[in-house]
Amino acid sequence: MKMKSSLAPGIRLITNFSRDSWYRGFILILTFLFYTAYHLSRKPISIVKSELHRNCSNVIQPKDINITNNVTWCDWPPFDQDNYQTLFGVLDNCFLVAYAIGMFFSGIFGERLPLRYYLSIGMLMSGLFTCLFGLGFYWNIHSLGYYAFVQVMNGLVQTTGWPAVVACVGNWFGKGKRGFIMGVWNSHTSVGNILGSLIAGVFVSTAWGLSFIVPGIIIACTGVLCFFFLVESDCLFVCQSGQERSQEVGETAPLLRDSSIVDPSINGAVSTEPDVIVEEHSEAISFLGALRIPGVVEFSLCLLFAKLVSYTFLYWLPLYISNVAHFEAKEAGDMSTLFDVGGILGGILAGLVSDYTGGRASTCCVMLVVAAPMLFLYNNIGQRSLGTTIGMLLLCGALVNGPYALITTAVSADLGTHESLKGNARALSTVTAIIDGTGSIGAALGPLLAGVISPTGWNNVFYMLISADVLACLVREISVPKSRRCRREANLNSLDLC
């Protein structure tokens, strides 16, 4: 008697997942790649700084070079002057101020334009301006104005990324496990920083122009990928796939709009509650209307100080390690990636804890409080040994980037789909842009202050960062009375503002 063959275990596992689950996973991976590319293209400037102005006393100088009269042959003008740190601060702020200003408009455009086109064009333009910065090396450009202009334009076009990818993910995923899912997904920020550091480090000591050109090509390629494959909302499958799709989820119910129609196993790992039915023809929310959503202003101000700390590390940590620990540019860049590895762990931990406790704000506050003394310890004992440096960088990265990641992802998505919107789905991009735009003001202030303060000593830079952490927590505490009043009036239980 012939034994009957059973279905292969691998195939059985694959078929246990519905098509909707595969769509969700595909969108999550795709948007992860997109924003990884955005951050990958931002990181090279921090790696190249220590090459543009090197410690020439540590460089073996050719015998035929006259090194008298402070001729620093190994520098790249105009960054060969004594005020090089201020000039680096100018470049950082050209990008960050443009990014902060552009972000407030980007969300408005994102609500009104197809996200696929918006993201594709944004990534292609980001690739162009990133490459233009690197081409300054091959074109032998020594004008600060050129590099500043490229940074301003790059800052503007990079605002296309964050509101759009958060809106896409928010459209596909419910609230039940949003903290954990977005905590894992938000690791794209740190992964992008790590990859950007490693790629830039490969070329920084030989041809620093390639440290920008290669990331620029990568983000441009992801823009092409976005154009061909991004589906910005689960509703598009309902609207465009005809009878086959309607037999699965019903004629009128989009995938995430009425979870009672969808197979519970689909949403079981993502959402434990039905979502609000969305008005199909709802108008995009206004800027002032988004500001009136309870919690938007409070979390925006909190993010301002949290992002100030995070972006100061993003732009200045490799130079700090190079100056204090006396590493070469590539070694300092590689070491700085540990801060981002810690950021990945911190983002996931913050998401898990906030899902379990139901307290987004409380999770942020605790991590910010603990981060302040850890920053002090890192500055004082962080360079004593290699093991201490690694441990402190991982710990500080987790505590600094955890609250930042939680606010920009799960909190923004929660507020963008708040009960007070009464089913209006066209608010997520605007709310995300307001929160991240306000945070980007802090991101611009941090590197600027670091550039001004660092000539007086790195200790003062760390005192500034510790103060910012404390202020982020104070903003949250000051907002408590108003938040409690709002929650009593509206009976809002989905977001812990208190």
pTM above 0.85, yes or no: no
Q: Would you say domain 24-55+81-233+284-490 falls under CATH 1.20.1250.20? A: yes
Q: Which of 57-71, 150-164, 228-242, 309-323 has the highest mean pLDDT?
A: 150-164
pLDDT of residue 421: 54
Q: What is the DSSP letter of 250?
A: -
Rounded Cα–Cα distance for residues 436 and 441 (Å): 9
User: Beta-carbon neighbour count of residue 133 at 10 Å?
Assistant: 29
Mean pLDDT (whole number) for 358-370: 84
In angstroms, the Cα distances linking 221 to 40, 136, 225, 325, 442 are: 13, 22, 6, 37, 30
**In the chain, where the domains are located:** 24-55+81-233+284-490
More confident residue, 354 or 424: 354
> What does the DSSP assignment read for 123-135?
HHHHHHHHHHHHH
In angstroms, the Cα distances linking 222 to 118, 175, 189, 271, 465 are: 13, 28, 15, 29, 34
Quick one: pLDDT band at residue 139, thresholds 50, 70, 90? very high
Decide if pLDDT at 325 tops 70: yes
More confident residue, 101 or 11: 101
* Percentage of the chain exceeding pLDDT 90: 27
Decide if pLDDT at 463 tops 90: yes
Decide if pLDDT at 187 tops 80: yes
